[in-house]
Amino acid sequence: MADKTRAAGAQKPKASAAQKVKAPGARSRRGRTLSLVIPMHDEAPVLDSLFRQLDETVGRLAVKLEIVCVDDGSRDATLELLSTRAARDRRVKVLSLSRNFGKEAALTAGLEAASGDMVVPLDADLQDPPELIGEFVTLWEQGYDVVYGVRSDRTSDTVLKRASANLFYQLFNSVSDYPIPASTGDFRLMDRKVIEALARLPERNRFMKGLFAWVGFKQVGVPYVRPARMAGTTAWGYRKLFRFAVDGVTAFTTLPLRIWTLVGIGAAVLAIITGVGLIVRVLMVGRDVPGYASLMVALLFGFALQMIALGVMGEYIGRMYQEVKGRPTYLVKDRIGFDS
């Protein structure tokens, strides 16, 4: 499976060359703890495959292992299966949230609960291949604080999903001061100091990909082929993905607000030019009676611009409202295995 994951054509991934150059501040994995953070929502069908893969790959690395599973209000047997596994495997720790708060909140809960020197968030459906974590650790030893996976091949996704993802990355990186590497997700290894930096960020509408980019530190990417989902269906429909994209853009730039300032100035200039033109025309050829159709088009167009501008402002005001309320990002119902 490792060969399939790394086989992005005959060309060897560029990240392998980075391994040959020893980065400043080299570390050793000896005696260190690696924490895996896995948000879960209705993942019962994949749990056996997931833990088997982790034992075959990450379990063989020369590190102490901690597996933090965050049950995000699952409606199936996910929590029961995790509790049973935690009872017989001291490496497994379970955070049970009081309801479904969403992946970003569940990921935040897991990162704050993890105690490892290195922390790796990954999906339970095995689309984030665990066999790549060994290479992440090697690059961490060479001094990199963040090692992120780059999806070099996404043929497992639909054409529409790939196209919309590419459009989002292009849009986000064109308007944000903190660009996200294209085709990256949450799958990455982060040093403890990066986790502590993330814990200092207080916002509740959390767009984790943007936060990972915002904190900075020494980063490097590792390309991989994204496999198909192991079982079940994704909860990320296009409507939810669109909302997620809006959250990301509004969380890291005020450019949409500035754009409407420019649109307003442009409309005012156009109105002045049109008014002057009408005055000149009346003076030269006499009174002019404008047509009903052109008047309605102008009114409807102006009304549409106002509604869009109000919608953009509403997005920002809504986020301010959520932040001012000060509600916690998540609530924990139960903690299993953390005392062992």
For residue range 29-88, what is the model confidence (pLDDT) as tens digits?
888 889 999 998 888 888 888 898 888 888 788 888 899 999 988 888 888 899 888 888
The whole-number average pLDDT for the span 302-309 is 72
- pLDDT value, residue 10: 35
- pLDDT value, residue 261: 66
Within this chain, do residues 120 and 222 fall inside the same structural domain, yes or no?
Answer: yes
The whole-number average pLDDT for the span 4-10 is 42
Within this chain, do residues 226 and 259 fall inside the same structural domain, yes or no?
Answer: no
- pLDDT value, residue 165: 66
Backbone torsions φ then ψ of 148, nearest 5 degrees: -110, 150
The whole-number average pLDDT for the span 7-28 is 48
Task: Give the three-state DSSP class for 263.
Answer: helix
- pLDDT value, residue 199: 86
Within this chain, do residues 121 and 174 fall inside the same structural domain, yes or no?
Answer: yes
Q: Looking at the domain assignment, is residue 130 inside a domain?
A: yes
Q: Looking at the domain assignment, is residue 250 inside a domain?
A: no
Backbone torsions φ then ψ of 150, nearest 5 degrees: -115, 120
Within this chain, do residues 111 and 208 fall inside the same structural domain, yes or no?
Answer: yes
Q: Looking at the domain assignment, is residue 212 inside a domain?
A: yes
Q: Looking at the domain assignment, is residue 247 inside a domain?
A: no
Within this chain, do residues 174 and 42 fall inside the same structural domain, yes or no?
Answer: yes
- pLDDT value, residue 235: 55
Within this chain, do residues 116 and 79 fall inside the same structural domain, yes or no?
Answer: yes
Find tokens 């499976």 and name the residue.
1
Backbone torsions φ then ψ of 72, nearest 5 degrees: -95, 65
Within this chain, do residues 166 and 214 fall inside the same structural domain, yes or no?
Answer: yes
Q: Looking at the domain assignment, is residue 248 inside a domain?
A: no
Within this chain, do residues 45 and 103 fall inside the same structural domain, yes or no?
Answer: yes
How distant is the alpha carbon of residue 104 from its chain centre?
8
Q: Looking at the domain assignment, is residue 240 inside a domain?
A: no
210 is in which domain, residue-wise?
Answer: 2-235+332-336
The whole-number average pLDDT for the span 301-322 is 72
Within this chain, do residues 200 and 289 fall inside the same structural domain, yes or no?
Answer: no
Query: Does pLDDT of 288 surpass 70?
Result: no
Q: Looking at the domain assignment, is residue 304 inside a domain?
A: yes
pLDDT digits (tens, 9 = 90+) for 119-162: 999 888 888 888 888 889 989 888 889 898 888 766 656 666 66
Within this chain, do residues 182 and 297 fall inside the same structural domain, yes or no?
Answer: no
CA–CA distance, 54 with 57 (Å, rounded to integer): 5
pLDDT digits (tens, 9 = 90+) for 163-201: 666 676 666 666 666 777 777 778 889 999 899 998 888
Do residues 224 and 270 lie in contact, with contact meaning Cβ atoms separated by under 8 Å?
Answer: no
CA–CA distance, 260 with 265 (Å, rounded to integer): 8
The whole-number average pLDDT for the span 316-321 is 73
- pLDDT value, residue 17: 37
Within this chain, do residues 291 and 216 fall inside the same structural domain, yes or no?
Answer: no
pLDDT digits (tens, 9 = 90+) for 216-261: 888 888 888 877 665 555 555 556 555 655 665 666 666 666 676 6
Q: Looking at the domain assignment, is residue 245 inside a domain?
A: no
The number of folded domains in the chain is 2
CATH number of the domain enclosing 56: 3.90.550.10
Do residues 98 and 65 lie in contact, with contact meaning Cβ atoms separated by under 8 Å?
Answer: no
Within this chain, do residues 270 and 227 fall inside the same structural domain, yes or no?
Answer: no
